[in-house]
Structure formats: C-alpha cells, structure tokens
Amino acid sequence: MASKIEIKNLTLVFGKKKERALEMIDQGVPIKEIRETTGLAVGVNNISLEIEEGELFVIVGLSGSGKSSLIRCMNMLNKPTRGEILIDGENICDYNKKQLIDIRRHKISMVFQHFGLLNHRSVLKNVEYGLEVQGISEAEREKKSLEAIEMVGLAGWEKYFPRQLSGGMKQRVGLARALANDAEILLMDEPFSALDPLIRKEMQTDLLGMTDYIDKTIIFITHDMNEAFKLGDRAALMRDGEIVQIGKPRDFFDHPADDYVRNFIEDVDKSRILRVKTVMRKPVCLAKPIDNREDVIKHLEEKEREFCYVTDDNNKLLGYVELEKLKESKDTTVEQLIDTEYQDINRNSFLSEIWSKLDESDYDVAVTDKSNRIRGVISYEDVVGALS
C-alpha cells in the first residue's frame, strides 16, 4: 500500500525568532535547555514517519509530548517551522491559502478533544458546517449530514442543540461533522479523553466498527496506552517532541525500544488489548472463482499449502478450496469447488475472545471485517507467539 501521509524531518517551534531554536537543535541541545535559554518551545522535534492509506495510526504520549502539536501540523493549523508533510505526494507546507482551504474542505477533517461544536447551531447545522462553507446546496447538505448522523448513531437528534446532549453524544456530533464532508483523512485529537470510561469504551468499539465501512486514513491521538493499542493498527510513542518507538502494538511488547517504553506498557494487559488485526498475517495465497484450477494447484503446491481462501473482486470472502478436491476435479475454474462452510474471525476481536475458535483448527483462519472482506489470516501459533 502507498503511504498516504509522509512526514519528513518535521520540526515545529513556537515563539518568535524560531531560527535560534533550529540552530540549537542542530547542535544537539536538548529542547528543555532551549526553552530555558531562549523561551522558545519546541513542539515537534525532527519527526519522520509514514502513514499508510486506510490505516488507523495512533500517536500516544503524555501531555506536553507534542502529539497535539504534531497532528495540527497535518492540516496546517500549526505551521511547521521546518520539514515536509507529503499528503498523496504533495508537500502541503508549500500550499498557498487557497490550496490549504481546499485540502481542508475535501481531504482532511478533524475531531477535537472538547468537541469544538458551534453551540449556536443545532446538531444538523453543526454537521452541515463543513459542507456549508463549501457552498453546497442545502438539500444535498442535509442529505449527506443525515447519513453521517445516522452512521454515528444519532438519528433523531438532528434538531437538538449541543447543550442538550451528553459528552459522548457531543463527540458523536463532532465525528459526524468530520465524516460528512467525505474526507479521506480523519484527524482525531484525543477525541475520547474527555468522556467517562464507559462511554469511552463504547465509542472505541463504535469507531472500530465504523472503520469496517469507511475507508479512511485515521490519525488518532491519545495519552492512554490501552486505548492506543486497542485501536491502532500501528502506534507511535512520543516524548519531548520526538518519537520514541513506532510500530504495531505487539512490537511494543516484543521489542520495547527503551526503559521509557517498558515503563509505559508495564500495566497493560496484552491479551485484553491486542486485537486480531494487529497479529494477523497477510494470506500467502488467495484465489478467485474465475481462476484456472491448474494454476491454483500449482500455486498451492509451490507454497506448500493445503487450501486457500477464495474472494470476489471486492475482496469479499466466498469460501475456501482444498488442494485435494482441486486435484480430483476436472473443472477448468475453481468456481464449483468452493467450500462455503468456513470459519472467520472479525479483525477487531481481542485475542482473548478468539481462543476457542482457534483451538479447533490448526489452519489459518480467515480474518474479516464487517463487510466480510478478507483482511488477513491468523493461526493458533500466531496468537501464542503474540501473547508469550
């Protein structure tokens, strides 16, 4: 997959005469010392990272670690002092005002910690805001907004005002507003931190459920390691404006970069946090119904597999075909040979929940999303490997 966002050597300094801070950074002066001598705050210090299309990327760190400063660079609410941010290969730091407004309207939307709702507008009008500034007709605005409101589970609340809603519902409005303008990238700045724990858990589950239907690249900020690992396909841990470690959640457990990371993950219960999607592998081979039978046999023998999953053109899982059955048959394609009695696992399940299903088979079990698209495979050994 292509990287959607690529950040290269990004540095962000707050204050006047930023060049002085840049010089000191280049000389290797720690940012704490820079702040003491010059009064300049370095929010982001020389960060490089790539975020893939469709990924849920979590940036985690304590307050003051620069995570919020970093996410605000991605839609230029903070103007980076140095470095590049490439979105679909274009450096948005070079954008002029008009291009910037354009990208904010169509490509990137944002959800805020304290919701950032316009309290003089109803839920519907809040959700419409992004479309309204684009000058879209009222009828279409309403149609799209109602869809978004429906998706976040607030149908029926359109006419209410933000002050009449609970915290969780307010954030659903914030989310709907961000979804309404169909942006490819969704920036979420500690969206669930202001909510109480039960609501937060519910929102997390709902967000994961939603990612099965919407193909968005999501950048999610949190200070909560549990949340980071629960949600993220990958996570980056930040400290003092720098990235300490970046990788899949299990990488943090398997190879913590230093003691800071080790401390951070100390009281995280792995089995309850690691999700299937962070442990699963890419399937070695996949077949399509129209594939030639002989080709599939050859392919399977090459890879020493006894069966493989069959998907349609949209990656939807149809079933599997067994090598033996393929050899016995005389059909030209595999279409008639698909066995539809398969087992699958939702990619957002926790490892602790799927034990039983895996015990029954030592095969690769298909991992799917809610629209039944195959996302990967997982076997008993993978789980054991991840948890040990």
Partner 1 sequence: MFDFPENLQIGISGPIDSAVKWMLVHWDGFFDGISNFVLIIFDAIQGALGILPWWLILIGIFFAGYKLYNLKTGIMLTLMLFAIGLFGLWDLMIYTLVIVIISVLVSIVLGIPMGILMAKFETFKKINLPILDAMQTMPSFVYLLPAVMFFGFGKVPAVIATTTYALPPLIRLTYLGISNVNKEILEAGKSFGSTTKQMLFKIEFPQALSTIMTGINQTTMMAMAMVVISSMIGAEGIGEQVLIAIRRLEIGSGFEAGLAIVFLAIVLDRILQGIANKLKETE
Residues of the shown chain interacting with partner 1 in the complex, contacts defined by CB under 8 A: 72, 75, 77, 100-106, 108-110, 112-120, 129-130, 132-134, 161, 163, 177, 181, 187
Q: By C-beta, is 33 or 102 nearer to partner 1?
A: 102
Give me the least distance between CB of 100 and partner 1, in Å please: 8
Q: Using an 8 Å Cβ cutoff, are 116 and 126 in contact?
A: no
In angstroms, what is the minimal distance from the CB of 133 to partner 1?
Answer: 5
Asked whether the beta carbons of 186 and 175 are under 8 A apart, the reply is: no
194 vs 338 by CB, closer to partner 1: 194
For partner 1, the closer CB: 38 or 181: 181
CB of 162 to partner 1, least distance (A): 9
Q: Which is nearer to partner 1, 111 or 287 (CB)?
A: 111
Q: Assess contact for 312 and 240: CB atoms under 8 A.
A: no
Long-range CB pairs of 333-341, under 8 A, 24+ apart, other chains included: 333/289, 333/290, 333/291, 333/292, 333/293, 334/287, 334/288, 334/289, 334/291, 334/292, 334/293, 334/296, 334/310, 335/289, 335/290, 337/293, 338/289, 338/310
Q: Where are the beta strands (DSSP E) in the chain?
A: 3-14, 41-52, 56-61, 82-87, 90-91, 108-111, 185-189, 217-222, 234-239, 242-247, 286-287, 307-311, 317-322, 344-346, 365-368, 374-378
Closest distance between partner 1 and the C-beta of residue 93, in Å? Answer: 16
Residue 85 or residue 279: which is nearer to partner 1 going by CB? 85
Nearer to partner 1, 71 or 261 (CB): 71
**Structure token digits, residue 316:** 């939807």
Q: Which is nearer to partner 1, 24 or 169 (CB)?
A: 169
Q: How many CB atoms lie within 10 A of CB 337?
A: 20
Q: Which two tokens stand for residue 383?
A: 């789980």
Please report how close the Cβ of residue 65 comes to partner 1 at its closest, in angstroms: 19
CB of 129 to partner 1, least distance (A): 6
Shortest Å distance, C-beta 44 to partner 1: 17
